[in-house]
């Protein structure tokens, strides 16, 4: 992913976070996108494992964060 694509995708996520009623998902998405773009320079391996595992949580907010994170990783 080049810098221009990263920036436009981050902008899209910001717009969606403010307009769609899923703020936790979009917060996770932005974090996953940063991890995909910056690689190991963004966050630690432990944080990556934690955010990835949130998708399986029974807690709705945590699950939304995790699902967004995984989608952000895939988008990157």
Cβ atoms of 51 and 60 closer than 8 Å: no
Residue that is written with structure tokens 């899923």 in the block: 22
Q: Say what the pTM is.
A: 0.91
Domain range list for the chain: 3-75
**pLDDT value of residue 1:** 85
**pLDDT value of residue 18:** 84
Q: What is the pLDDT of residues 8-58, one digit of tens each?
A: 999 999 899 888 889 999 999 999 999 999 999 999 999 999 999 999 999
7: Cβ–Cβ under 8 A, 6 or more apart, which residues?
Answer: none
pLDDT for residue 7 is more than 90: yes
């Amino acid at each position: 992913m080049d810098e221009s694509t990263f920036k436009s995708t981050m902008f899209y996520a910001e717009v969606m976070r403010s307009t769609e009623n899923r703020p936790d998902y979009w917060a996770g998405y932005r974090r996953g996108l940063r991890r995909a773009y910056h690689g190991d320079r963004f966050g630690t391996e432990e944080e990556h494992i934690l955010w990835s595992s949130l998708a399986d949580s029974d807690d709705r907010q945590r699950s939304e964060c995790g699902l967004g994170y995984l989608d952000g990783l895939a988008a990157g």
